[in-house]
Amino acid sequence: MLSYTGLVMLAGLLLVAVAWVFVLRWLPTKDPRLIKEAFPGPVIIGGLSRSDVMRGFAPAAAGALAFLLVLGLVGGWFLAGRMLAPLNRITDATRVAATGSLSHRIAMEGRSDEFRELADAFDGMLARLEAYVEGQQRFAADASHELRTPLAITQALLDAARSDPLRDGSELDERLRTVNARAIDLTEALLLLSRADQGSFPREPVDLSLLAEEATETLLPLAEKHGLAIETSGDVTPTIGSSSLLLQVVTNLVHNAIVHNLSEHGTVWVTTHADPDSVVLTVENTGEQLTPQLVATLAEPFRRGTGRVHSDHAGVGLGLAIVRGITRAHDGTLTLTSRAAGGLRVEVRLPLAPAAEVLATRP
């Protein structure tokens, strides 16, 4: 408010200074005839000296400046209140958010100006932060629950072995190894998911079709073991990202398509193609009919489908969550849809990279 008042007073003083510089200083100090000798031409107001004008001008100027002072204080108080009210609301919302409460919203109404845009952007940021924090809390709770299970099983096995010294040690060793391997897989999956969420990885030209070929060749023995066929097709699909993480995406998708395939002599289709501005990886598998409600939850951490045929590859419930995290970290999208004939269709869409960069990396 004081800044508004100071600005008004400065304008008033400048006005008085202009009057002095361009009017009063041309008046003679005592005898108006003296100005004739210095400045030939018409004489200003007959018979008036500078002191005469100052006596008449000074009170009026002082009164005008006093009025400007009051006007500046009142007007500044009013304008500052109107203009700073939105900032006060944003400041209050910031203080509330700093206490850990992210559900508060400014919800500013009125005309669409800079303050409204700032408030809307702040509300959007709070909404994203609230969703992120809730997701992290839910994920931490689920992870703690999942990690507690193998530890509890291990403790139970050790307690049973202690109470029965004659029990076969080889059986206990095998079961402990299985439980420990599951705990290791879960921990590695959690670390990989965290790495993908943070986006802390180098980026380089990658051909998604080559990664699809590598993943299908690696998992082909598993598919053949369970009587499934894998069909691959596609063109060069250049993108930019982490080769190891994108390979994990393809591997997880193909692995899920195999272990979820409940059809006898089922099939897994892996295709890649390039659009004008993106590359697309599609993995489909035969299987039972899935509801849209179930499909919508499959990418959530620790969410599993209706069942798995192959108990030796039960997984830890993070496969599609990892795929979604890696895809988002590469500025891509993940789409899951149920197939009309049964099974699941997964589409990963990533930004297109210049083909020349990827072709240079092909063997």
DSSP 258-290: HHT--STT-EEEEEEEE-SSEEEEEEEE--S--
Residue 311 identity: S
CA 302 to chain centre: 23
Q: What pLDDT was estimated at residue 212? A: 93
- Count Cβ neighbours within 10 Å for each residue of 241-264 and write b for 16 or more, e otherwise: bbbebbbbbbbbbbbbbbbbbbbe
- What pLDDT is attached to residue 35? 46
Local confidence pLDDT in tens for the 363 residues of the chain:
555 566 667 666 766 666 665 555 555 555 555 444 444 444 444 555 556 656 666 676 677 777 777 777 777 677 666 667 777 788 888 888 888 788 888 888 777 777 788 888 888 888 888 877 776 776 666 666 666 767 777 777 777 777 777 666 677 777 777 777 777 777 776 676 666 666 667 888 999 999 999 999 988 988 888 889 999 998 889 999 888 889 889 988 998 898 887 677 889 999 999 988 899 999 999 988 888 888 888 887 666 554 443 444 445 567 788 888 889 888 999 999 999 888 899 999 999 987 555 555 455
Give residue 20's pLDDT.
62
CATH number of 114-197: 1.10.287
Q: Scan for tokens 């500046």, then name that residue.
A: 72
Confidence (pLDDT) at 39: 43
CATH class of the region 203-359: alpha beta
Q: Distance (Å, rounded) from C-alpha 15 to C-alpha 3?
A: 18
pTM here is 0.56
What does the H/E/C string look like for the chain? Answer: CHHHHHHHHHHHHHHHHHHHHHCHHHCCCCCCCHHHHHCCCCCCCCCCCHHHHHHHHHHHHHHHHHHHHHHHHHHHHHHHHHHHHHHHHHHHHHHHHHCCCCCCCCCCCCCCCHHHHHHHHHHHHHHHHHHHHHHHHHHHHHHHHHHHHHHHHHHHHHHHHHHCCCCCHHHHHHHHHHHHHHHHHHHHHHHHHHHHHHCCCCCEEEEHHHHHHHHHHHHHHHHHHCCCEEEEEECCCEEEECHHHHHHHHHHHHHHHHHCCCCCCCEEEEEEEECCCEEEEEEEECCCCCCHHHHCCCCCCCCCCCCCCCHHHCCCCCHHHHHHHHHHHCCCEEEEEECCCCCEEEEEEEECCCHHHHHCCCC
pLDDT of residue 89: 82
Q: ∠ CA 75-76-82 to the nearest 5 degrees?
A: 90
Q: What residue segments make up the domains of the chain, in order of their start?
A: 2-98, 114-197, 203-359
In the three-class reduction of DSSP (H, G, I as helix; E, B as strand; rest coil), residue 239 is classed as strand
Where is 323: in which H helix or E strand? helix 319-329
Structure confidence at residue 282 (pLDDT): 96
Helix (H) or strand (E) segment spanning residue 59: helix 50-98
